[in-house]
């Protein structure tokens, strides 16, 4: 599956920051048309789960999740294209495999903040076909065949491969107008013993009222500590 990112990216500059560790901030990532498609599909999936939460409870903080699995086709395919993989690989100057664990998170208003953690963690995937071409979709995690957390094989004939997350990406959507004080930011920490509400750096969900979309990207390092602060 080939995707021409020139048709979907806004072309605005992405901001590279080095404190408290290297990470990238990007506002207005995609064109308004694609962002609307992403937002509409998010709402449709949430509505299909009852309207207030997704089907999966998130361990450790008050959020629910929906995972993308092999065979998915929709607006979020842009994130699972080889072209997007190459873009992120270039931004962080790192070699990336085709293995991706991806999903949607939903936080209800007044939910509690999350816990401090890092994303330098192993994950297991069903082995990608040896003859698969780069143009094919990414190798999405599939718990029905191989447990992402521990590598347990759940289907005969499947081979599991262990990976370590190289880059984590957060893309924010379906939020109303935001101003400082509303919450919903991402906290970055140099020390996991810091109080959750006292991050080393607080990354706003968006920098302006008018920005329709924003993303936060960071290499997965042992010092990346992230907590999600809920919007009241």
Tally of helices (H runs) and strands (E runs) in the chain: 2, 14
Residue 77's DSSP bridge partners are none
232 pLDDT exceeds 50?
A: no
* Under 8 Å between Cβ of 96 and 210: no
Percent of the chain having pLDDT more than 70? 86
User: What is the pLDDT confidence band of residue 224, given thresholds at 50, 70 and 90?
Assistant: very low
User: What is the pLDDT confidence band of residue 184, given thresholds at 50, 70 and 90?
Assistant: confident
194 pLDDT exceeds 60?
A: yes
Backbone angles phi, psi at 196, to 5 degrees: -55, -40
Q: In this predicted model, what pLDDT tens digit does every residue of 104-150 receive, in sequence order?
A: 988 877 777 888 888 878 999 999 887 777 666 689 999 999 999 99
172 pLDDT exceeds 70?
A: yes
More confident residue, 153 or 53: 153
Residue 66's DSSP bridge partners are 104
CA distances for 60 relative to 112, 113, 117, 194, 204, angstroms: 10, 10, 10, 17, 22
> How far apart, in whole angstroms, are the C-alpha atoms of residue 107 and residue 173?
12
- Share of the chain residues as helix, strand and coil, in percent rounded to the nearest 5: 15, 25, 60
Domains of the chain: 5-228 (2.60.120.620)
User: How many other C-beta atoms lie within 10 A of the C-beta of residue 124?
Assistant: 21
In this structure, of 88-102, 109-123, 200-214, the range with the lowest mean pLDDT score is: 200-214
Percent of the chain having pLDDT more than 90? 43
Residue 167's DSSP bridge partners are 219
DSSP character string of 147-173 = -TTT--B-STT--EEEEE--EEEEEE-
Backbone angles phi, psi at 167, to 5 degrees: -140, 135
> How far apart, in whole angstroms, are the C-alpha atoms of residue 172 and residue 185?
10
């Amino acid at each position: 599956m080939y995707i021409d990112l020139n048709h979907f990216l806004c072309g605005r500059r992405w901001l590279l920051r080095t404190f408290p560790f290297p990470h990238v901030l990007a506002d207005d990532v995609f064109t308004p048309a694609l962002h609307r498609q992403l937002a509409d599909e998010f709402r449709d999936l949430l509505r299909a789960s009852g309207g207030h939460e997704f089907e999966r409870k998130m361990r450790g903080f008050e959020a629910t999740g929906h995972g993308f699995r092999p065979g998915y086709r929709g607006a979020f395919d842009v994130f699972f294209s080889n072209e997007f993989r190459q873009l992120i690989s270039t931004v962080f100057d790192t070699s990336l495999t085709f293995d991706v664990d991806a999903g949607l998170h939903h936080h209800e208003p007044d939910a509690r903040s999350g816990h401090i953690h890092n994303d330098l963690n192993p994950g297991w995937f069903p082995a990608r076909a040896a003859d698969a071409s780069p143009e094919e979709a990414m190798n999405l995690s599939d718990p029905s065949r191989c447990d992402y957390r521990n590598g347990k094989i759940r289907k005969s004939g499947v081979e599991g491969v262990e990976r370590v997350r190289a880059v984590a990406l957060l893309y924010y959507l379906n939020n109303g107008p935001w101003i400082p004080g509303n919450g919903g930011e991402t906290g970055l920490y140099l020390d996991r013993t810091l109080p959750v509400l006292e991050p080393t750096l607080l990354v706003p969900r968006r920098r302006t009222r008018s920005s329709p979309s924003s993303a936060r990207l960071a290499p997965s390092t042992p010092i990346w500590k992230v907590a999600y602060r809920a919007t009241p």
